[in-house]
């Protein structure tokens, strides 16, 4: 690891050359020199053509980031290397969810078949207290846990990427981080959707002078597609990370400035929060299903519990015979989801604080009993208590997938929680998360996703909040068969489940498995939400006839997945968020 001396070559120049090799159509950088790029504003803009002759594949929510990852694979980097580059690049080019100031889950299956789950989720600061998000009236203060410095947990991303590199990386660290630094320093052309998102949040960014300086145009105009977004402070921070590794986030000027800004902004971050943060290796949970092995992440993610309950329970019913849009299929999945969410919300949290082993909740006898006694595809079961108001669903977080030529695969879901996190920027030019809202500010009350959670997820210093983020890797006959994940708060769980069902039960082609309509139900509120116009009138009428409340929803999830498809990797970027410049780059398997 790390023996190759790093040769400082411009990423933008390499991107230009690399893309030519990838047979993508691009605007190459004229002389291959960064200076030239700076003068002309030239940028490497790739179209979505599939390159040929590549071994390995990548899929993410943003073009530059995916291509940067492919270039690492081209240079002989492994899936971990490419994922590190991709993650740092997203912190620049997809600032609503890509991050340095957030956290996430990293699932890795090594070429030798070993699997690893690296948890780099935010933790509650050492000064956090159970009541910190209750207002003077004793009620949860929504704004405090979602906006501004007080909403921020200790960010884990830099530590997580460093840990992944130390354990499994191949190319030099600096080589992997520099592409992001260059994208920040020289700028990149924003997509139409990014422009729209920045314009929409202009007044929010306006409340934070540092965020305003980066995300509100100095000339007062709206952002437009193709505008260059330059992030000078972020570039310096990334250069420091490239040179110093995680040390840049442990002590020193970046940490001091972040802690001072937090204090000034009413937050509670302290130097020891950064000095003591630990990315953790946790158990991967493997689910045997349909001759496959589904690798999932354990608490503080709820992915393992959810999938380990849902996949076997649904096997008790003939979904494939019914068809994926049949009312029985939809109602059954909704009912089973409600039960799974009930267990999730009741029992899960940081594993260090859970009073019951979560594995009890996937005991086959328990699941079987429940399938027989409580599930009926032609029945609507209301939740036991009064439902809280359905919240507006935020649409951020992001997932990326990578496979390499040796058979390694990485699935990473990462987030600032809400779109652009807490909407405050550290002096180092990175946005802070509002992950503290994933805790139950008051156990028994709904958070921004309407999730009503328990003591196991109350705010406690150094705890990690319960998450729905669920990176998944599917293995067939000892080889990686699929890599997937999604954003969407609690809808992440149903999204991942439904893509698995589409691919492996309904046997859809990779693109169709991702594109097929999705719907979501959780315990409370008991409404079945469906993507507007996509469930079919007959199905909806049948559900309503059962008494099932239904509601139209915006597109659910944003899956960036890779599937084995014959001798090729099929990398699929979800068509739902077309405007965000998503790209998937496919390649041959070996
Ligand atoms: O960890 C979680 O479950 C949430 N913080 C994820 C947030 C999310 O996906 C928001 N986007 N849609």
Token look-up 């769980």 returns 493
* Ligand 1 center to 421 CA (angstroms): 10
Q: Which of 44-53, 172-181, 211-220, 380-389 has the lowest average pLDDT?
A: 44-53
Question: Is 395 annotated in the active site?
Answer: no
Residue whose CA lies nearest to ligand 1 atom number 8: 489
| Residue 393 in this model has a pLDDT that exceeds 80 | no
The model's pLDDT over 58-69, given as tens digits with 9 standing for 90+, comes to 999 998 999 999
pLDDT of residue 76: 92
* Ligand 1 center to 489 CA (angstroms): 4
Q: Confidence class of residue 541 from pLDDT cuts 50, 70 and 90?
A: very high
pLDDT of residue 361: 95
Average pLDDT over residues 67-77: 92
* Ligand 1 center to 119 CA (angstroms): 15
Q: Which of 280-289, 389-398, 533-542, 551-560 has the lowest average pLDDT?
A: 389-398
For the Cβ of 492 lying below 6 angstroms from any atom of ligand 1, the answer is yes
Q: Which of 47-51, 63-67, 116-120, 437-441 has the lowest average pLDDT?
A: 47-51
Across the beta sheet with 398-403, the strand order is 280-282, 115-119, 103-109, 409-415, 398-403, 57-60, 583-585
* Ligand 1 center to 15 CA (angstroms): 31
| Residue 82 in this model has a pLDDT that exceeds 90 | yes
| Residue of 453, 468, 558 with the most ligand 1 atoms within 8 Å of its CB, for mutation | 468
| Residue of 417, 463, 560 with the most ligand 1 atoms within 8 Å of its CB, for mutation | 417
* Integer Cα distance of 8 and 30 in angstroms: 19
Closest CA to 62 of 580, 586, 587, 589: 580
Given a contact cutoff of 8 angstroms between Cβ atoms, the answer to whether 241 and 184 are in contact is no
| Residue 37 in this model has a pLDDT that exceeds 60 | no
For the Cβ of 487 lying below 6 angstroms from any atom of ligand 1, the answer is yes
Strands (E), 261-302: 280-282, 284-289, 292-297
| Residue 234 in this model has a pLDDT that exceeds 90 | yes
Q: Confidence class of residue 53 from pLDDT cuts 50, 70 and 90?
A: low
For the Cβ of 417 lying below 6 angstroms from any atom of ligand 1, the answer is yes
* Integer Cα distance of 100 and 258 in angstroms: 12
What is the residue-averaged pLDDT of the chain? 88
Strand partners, 228: 189
Token look-up 């789950």 returns 117
* Integer Cα distance of 400 and 561 in angstroms: 7
For the Cβ of 468 lying below 6 angstroms from any atom of ligand 1, the answer is yes
* Ligand 1 center to 96 CA (angstroms): 12
pTM of the predicted protein model: 0.91
For the Cβ of 470 lying below 6 angstroms from any atom of ligand 1, the answer is no
Q: 424 or 584, which is more confident? A: 424
Q: Please name the helix (run of DSSP H) or strand (run of DSSP E) that holds residue 243, with its range, or none.
A: helix 232-244
| Residue 385 in this model has a pLDDT that exceeds 80 | no
* Integer Cα distance of 317 and 313 in angstroms: 8
Atom index in ligand 1 nearest the CA of residue 395 equals: 12
The model's pLDDT over 432-457, given as tens digits with 9 standing for 90+, comes to 999 999 998 888 877 777 777 788 89
Q: 456 or 126, which is more confident? A: 126
Q: Confidence class of residue 50 from pLDDT cuts 50, 70 and 90?
A: very low
- Which three-class secondary structure state does DSSP give residue 571? strand
| Residue 45 in this model has a pLDDT that exceeds 50 | no
* Ligand 1 center to 79 CA (angstroms): 24
- What would the two tokens of residue 224 be? 């437009």
Given a contact cutoff of 8 angstroms between Cβ atoms, the answer to whether 58 and 484 are in contact is no
* Ligand 1 center to 398 CA (angstroms): 9
| Residue 27 in this model has a pLDDT that exceeds 70 | no
- Hey, what domains does the chain have and what are their CATH numbers? 54-187+230-285+386-585 (3.60.20.40)
Q: Confidence class of residue 31 from pLDDT cuts 50, 70 and 90?
A: very low
* Integer Cα distance of 121 and 414 in angstroms: 8
| Residue 360 in this model has a pLDDT that exceeds 50 | yes
Among residues 66, 93, 397, 398, the one annotated as catalytic is 397
For the Cβ of 488 lying below 6 angstroms from any atom of ligand 1, the answer is yes
Q: Confidence class of residue 55 from pLDDT cuts 50, 70 and 90?
A: confident
Average pLDDT over residues 196-216: 97
For the Cβ of 10 lying below 6 angstroms from any atom of ligand 1, the answer is no
For the Cβ of 145 lying below 6 angstroms from any atom of ligand 1, the answer is no
Atom index in ligand 1 nearest the CA of residue 437 equals: 5
**% of the chain exceeding 70 in pLDDT:** 88
For the Cβ of 396 lying below 6 angstroms from any atom of ligand 1, the answer is yes
pLDDT of residue 582: 64
């Amino acid at each position: 690891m790390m023996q190759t001396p790093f040769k400082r070559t411009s990423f933008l120049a390499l991107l230009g050359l690399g893309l030519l090799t990838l047979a993508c159509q691009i605007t190459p950088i004229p002389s291959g020199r960064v200076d030239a790029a700076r003068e002309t504003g030239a940028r490497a803009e790739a179209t979505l053509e599939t390159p040929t002759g590549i071994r390995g594949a990548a899929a993410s929510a943003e073009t530059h980031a995916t291509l940067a990852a492919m270039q690492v694979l081209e240079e002989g980097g492994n899936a971990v290397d490419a994922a590190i580059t991709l993650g740092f690049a997203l912190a620049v080019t997809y600032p609503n969810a890509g991050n340095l100031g957030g956290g996430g889950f990293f699932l890795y299956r090594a070429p030798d078949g070993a699997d690893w789950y690296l948890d780099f989720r935010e933790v509650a600061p050492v000064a956090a207290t159970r009541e910190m998000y209750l207002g003077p009236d004793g009620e949860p203060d929504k704004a405090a846990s979602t906006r501004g410095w007080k909403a921020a947990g200790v960010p884990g991303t830099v530590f997580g990427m460093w840990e992944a590199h130390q354990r499994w990386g191949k190319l030099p660290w600096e080589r992997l981080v520099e592409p992001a630094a260059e994208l920040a320093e020289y700028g990149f052309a924003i997509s139409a959707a990014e422009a729209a998102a920045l314009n929409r949040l202009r007044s929010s960014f306006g409340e934070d002078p540092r965020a305003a300086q980066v995300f509100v145009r100095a000339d007062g105009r709206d952002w437009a597609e193709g505008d260059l977004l330059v992030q000078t402070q972020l570039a310096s921070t990334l250069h420091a990370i490239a040179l110093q590794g995680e040390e840049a986030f442990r002590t020193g000027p970046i940490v001091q400035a972040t802690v001072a800004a937090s204090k000034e902004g009413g937050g509670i971050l302290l130097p020891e929060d950064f000095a003591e943060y630990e990315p953790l290796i946790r158990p991967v949970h493997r689910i045997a299903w349909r001759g496959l092995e589904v690798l999932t992440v354990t608490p503080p993610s709820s992915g393992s519990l959810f999938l380990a309950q849902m996949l076997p329970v649904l096997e008790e019913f003939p979904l494939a015979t019914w068809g994926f849009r049949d009312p029985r299929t939809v109602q059954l999945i909704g009912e089973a989801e409600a039960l799974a969410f009930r267990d999730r919300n009741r029992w899960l949290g940081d594993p260090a604080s859970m009073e019951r082993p979560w594995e009890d909740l996937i005991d086959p006898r328990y699941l079987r009993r429940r399938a027989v006694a409580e599930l009926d595809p032609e029945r609507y079961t209301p939740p036991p208590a009064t439902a809280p108001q359905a919240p507006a669903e935020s649409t951020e977080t992001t997932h990326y997938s990578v496979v390499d030529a040796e058979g390694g695969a990485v699935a990473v879901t990462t987030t600032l929680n809400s779109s652009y996190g807490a909407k405050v920027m550290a002096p180092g030019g990175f946005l802070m998360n509002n992950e503290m809202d994933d805790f139950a500010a008051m156990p028994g009350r709904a958070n921004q996703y309407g999730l009503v959670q328990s003591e196991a997820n109350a705010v406690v210093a150094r705890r990690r909040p319960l998450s729905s983020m669920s990176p998944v890797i599917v293995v067939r006959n000892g080889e990686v068969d699929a890599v997937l994940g999604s954003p969407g708060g609690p809808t992440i769980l149903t999204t991942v489940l439904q893509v698995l069902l589409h691919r492996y039960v309904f046997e859809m082609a990779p693109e169709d498995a991702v594109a097929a309509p999705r719907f979501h139900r959780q315990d409370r509120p008991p409404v079945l939400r469906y993507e507007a116009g996509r469930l079919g009138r007959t199905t909806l009428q049948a559900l309503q006839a059962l008494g099932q409340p239904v509601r139209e929803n915006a597109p659910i999830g944003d899956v960036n997945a890779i599937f084995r498809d014959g001798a090729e990797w099929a990398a699929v970027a979800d068509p739902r968020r077309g405007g965000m410049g998503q790209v998937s780059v496919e390649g041959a398997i070996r």
